[in-house]
């Protein structure tokens, strides 16, 4: 598995408990939006952010949080934060 | 312009652990964290403040603000058990909250507008159709209050997700906000 595919599958594991649209979750791809597609409620999006922080041992500041809306954007934020470690 | 947000208390108890480490710090300013830690009922304070933020954010989006997801940029002040104030960027809003054992509901407005809040229980086991149920309810209520043919009314959302009522395909000025969570739904509409 490529790094990217690996990260997408890790992210899929993280969001799984919070999704409310099974179909969008099964078809999860880079352009999937956490709120409009997966129907994650905004309180649970905070959980996703905390889970991502725990999983990769990074801290997501305000600017990073603002970007965490789609799979693609989340992957970019995570990669940037890991490289800054 | 107006925004609203409802929180189903049972649903929130089941789906969100607000005591999780770092959870509150991601959402609330230091002043808000003080309100929560001094509260006799922190659960209610947390979700009242949250619903104030959500309802204010909806107004912010209606004014053309860019979407963001940093709840700490939305600052709340409580003036009474019901009334509050919220600041987002340059926008200052007034909020009103009602709390009972089933739900917490907040609405936010820019100035002293006369709005009507309609809160109701959603039909059970029809999760996917809740949005449609609320649209139908608004159309039915609105057609009665305005004496319009319901067949000629519809509700469409802008690309930013802001709902509008249309009559004969023409957008009406009646500012509208819709919310649902768990078993409860609500809509708020500007009175003519």
Is residue B27 less than 8 Å (CB to CB) from chain A?
yes
Which two structure tokens, joined as six digits, stand for B119?
A: 């809160």
* Confidence tier at B21 by pLDDT (50, 70, 90): very high
Q: Would you say residue B127 has pLDDT above 70? A: no
Which structure tokens are listed for B130? 């809740």
Domains of chain B and CATH, by start: 2-111 (3.90.470.20), 119-190 (no CATH)
- Are B181 and B7 a contacting pair, CB within 8 Å? yes
Instruction: Give the Cα separation of B43 and B61 in Å (integer).
Output: 27
Most A CBs within 10 Å: which of B26, B46, B51, as the mutation test of the A interface?
Answer: B26
pLDDT tens, B46-102?
Answer: 999 999 999 999 999 999 998 889 999 999 999 999 999 999 999 999 999 999 999
Q: Among B6-10, B21-25, B27-31, B60-64, which is the least confidently predicted range?
A: B60-64
A42 touches chain B (CB under 8 A): yes
Q: B118 vs B158, which has greater pLDDT? A: B118
Alpha helices in B5-102 (DSSP H): 9-15, 23-27, 30-37, 42-62
* B2: confidence class by pLDDT, cuts 50, 70, 90: very high
Measured between CB atoms, does A59 come within 8 Å of chain B?
Answer: no
Site from A40, A46, A63, A73 to mutate, B interface, most B CB atoms within 10 angstroms: A46
String of DSSP letters for A20-82: S-HHHHHT--TT-BTTTTT---HHHHHHHHHHHHHHHT----HHHHHHTTBHHHHHHHHHHHH
Contact B143/A at CB under 8 A: no
Q: What are the boundaries of each domain within chain A?
A: 3-83
Taking contacts as CB-CB distances below 8 angstroms, the residues of chain B near A46 are: 23, 26-27, 71
Shortest CA distance to B167 belongs to which of B185, B145, B184, B186?
B145
Taking the CA of residue B145 and the nearest CA in chain A, the distance in Å comes to 32
Distance (Å, rounded) from C-alpha B160 to C-alpha B175?
A: 15
Other residues' Cβ atoms within 10 Å of the Cβ of residue B91:
17
**Which pLDDT does position A2 carry in this prediction?**
80
The ipTM is 0.90
- CA distance linking residue A23 with residue B92, whole number of Å: 39
pLDDT of residue A85: 85
B159 touches chain A (CB under 8 A): no
A3-83: CATH number: 1.10.1200.10
Tens of pLDDT, residues A7-49: 999 999 999 999 999 999 999 999 999 998 999 999 999 999 9
β-partners of residue B97 are B106
């Amino acid at each position: 598995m490529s790094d990217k595919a690996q990260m997408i599958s890790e992210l899929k594991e993280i969001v799984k408990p919070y999704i409310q649209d099974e179909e969008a979750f099964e078809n999860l791809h880079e352009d999937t939006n956490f709120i409009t597609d997966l129907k994650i409620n905004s309180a649970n999006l905070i959980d996703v952010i905390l889970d991502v922080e725990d999983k990769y041992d990074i801290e997501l500041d305000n600017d990073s949080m603002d970007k965490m809306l789609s799979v693609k954007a989340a992957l970019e934020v995570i990669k940037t934060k890991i490289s800054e470690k | 312009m107006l925004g609203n947000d409802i929180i189903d208390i049972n649903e929130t108890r089941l789906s969100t652990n607000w005591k999780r480490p770092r959870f509150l710090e991601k959402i609330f300013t230091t002043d808000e964290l003080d309100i929560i830690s001094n509260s006799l009922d922190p659960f209610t304070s947390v979700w009242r403040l949250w619903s104030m933020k959500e309802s204010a954010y909806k107004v912010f989006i209606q004014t053309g603000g860019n979407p963001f997801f940093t709840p700490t940029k939305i600052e709340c002040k409580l003036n009474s058990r019901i009334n509050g104030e919220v600041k987002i960027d340059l926008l200052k809003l007034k909020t009103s909250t009602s709390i009972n054992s089933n739900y917490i509901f907040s609405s936010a407005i820019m100035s002293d507008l006369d709005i009507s809040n309609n809160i109701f229980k959603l039909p059970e086991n029809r999760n996917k159709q809740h949005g449609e149920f609320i649209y139908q309810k608004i159309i039915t209520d609105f057609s009665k209050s305005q004496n319009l043919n319901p067949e000629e009314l519809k509700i469409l959302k802008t690309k930013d997700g802001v709902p509008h009522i249309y009559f004969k395909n023409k957008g009406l000025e009646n500012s509208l906000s819709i919310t649902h969570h768990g078993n409860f739904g609500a809509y708020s509409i500007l009175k003519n």
